[in-house]
Amino acid sequence: MHASGWAGSLVVLGFAGTWALPLAVSLVAGDSFAAEDRLGTWRHLLVAVRSTRRIFAAKALASATVILLLVLGLACSSVVGGLLAVGSHPLAGLDGHVLAPADAATRLVLAWGSIVAPTLALAAVGLLGSVTLSSSPVGLLLPAVVALAMQLAQLLPLPVPVRLALPGYGFIAWHGLFTDPAQLAPLATSAVVSLAWAAILGTAAYVIFRARDFTNIHERGSGRRALTVGVLPLLVVSASTAAVVAWTAGASGSGIDKAKVERSVATSFGHLYRLQTEQLGRPPVTEAQLQTSATCTKGGGLEPAQGPGNDWRCIVSWHLPGVDAVGTAVYQLDVSADGQLVADGDGPKEVNGYFQVRSPNGTEPNPLWQFDAVVDLSSTTPKG
């Protein structure tokens, strides 16, 4: 955040997807219909409007408008604050490649835009809970609880179709925009899934609202209703979207395998080696000249090299122009279930074994000592 003003907005984006937006959606969409039950104003509203269709449309659109304005406000304020505090400097991507300010701004706009669809999906969950459970506090908290459950699910070793079929993945899918090449397939899948959730659950809320008996003031949320029309639609939508994603996506299992990890590590190392070369004042090299490659094992080579875990080990190799010897460096990897990995340098010392390097400008952080990378879970590994 001290290196580029654009980074501050990404930090806010991560916080918004984890906490701010689910809570805001609960307060806005989750209370849009339940407030009328608590205040006992349905009969007055129906006399004034005389159309349950118009009431539902007005409340749904009002909720969506407030939520979208909140997203826009967070995006604009975080960008302005970061630029005023630090300035428009190049931004380092999640795999080490450097983004020019204009490119960083474009991807930042796309990243904020990508969370609109999962936010609308949570809003549909809130509408369904507000309509179904009436004044029950469970309906108000339903979007936040569902968002928390989806966040916890992303930490589990779920199959790729199940992971991508949850709108919660949309709050981290924007990471793929800040890799080179950009990982757009998970982002597109998440957007389609989230919009499907929003459409299906919003329609279910509308049907339930139209069928409600407003002449019975005792008709409120019950345990049976919570199970039949509150929880079951979520389970049905989850299973349906997972089946569709499994049928259309080529990836299977955890989505993490040897070839993907090797490709991600080699790509990030190549980007960061060039940065270290500039720091040390050495002759510049291109990634094509480096021909970086990686060989990775898991569990000391005693188990299949696939799936998440902190027991991955990679040996990275590269070539320098005019040098016959091949450079090598060792990394210990911690690969999480959502495809994020951290590579910890394990030598040699002059390459990645120490967290600082001595440059002509003094002591600076060593970019190769420890770095992050992103595994594209939705991609398929070519056979043969």
pLDDT, one tens digit per residue, over 22-62 is 999 999 998 899 888 888 888 888 888 778 999 999 999 99
In a domain? residue 384: no
What is the pTM for the complete model shown? 0.89
Whether residue 376 has pLDDT greater than 60: yes
Range of the domain at 156: 5-215+222-248
Burial of 227 (0-12, 13-18, 19+ CB in 10 A): exposed
Q: Are 227 and 310 members of one domain?
A: no
Interatomic CA distance for residues 157 and 191, integer angstroms:
22
Whether residue 315 has pLDDT greater than 50: yes
Report the chain's mean pLDDT, rounded to a whole number: 89
pLDDT of residue 49: 79
In a domain? residue 380: no
pLDDT in tens, 208-252: 888 887 766 555 544 455 556 556 777 788 888 888 877 776 666
Q: Are 152 and 281 members of one domain?
A: no
Confidence at 384, pLDDT banded by 50, 70, 90 = very low
In a domain? residue 382: no
Handedness of CA 276, 280, 285, 291 (dihedral sign): negative
Number of domains making up the chain: 2
Residue 295, H or E segment: strand 293-298
Interatomic CA distance for residues 253 and 364, integer angstroms:
41
Handedness of CA 296, 301, 304, 307 (dihedral sign): negative
Q: Are 332 and 197 members of one domain?
A: no
In a domain? residue 381: no
pLDDT of residue 195: 94
Whether residue 66 has pLDDT greater than 90: yes
Q: Are 180 and 46 members of one domain?
A: yes
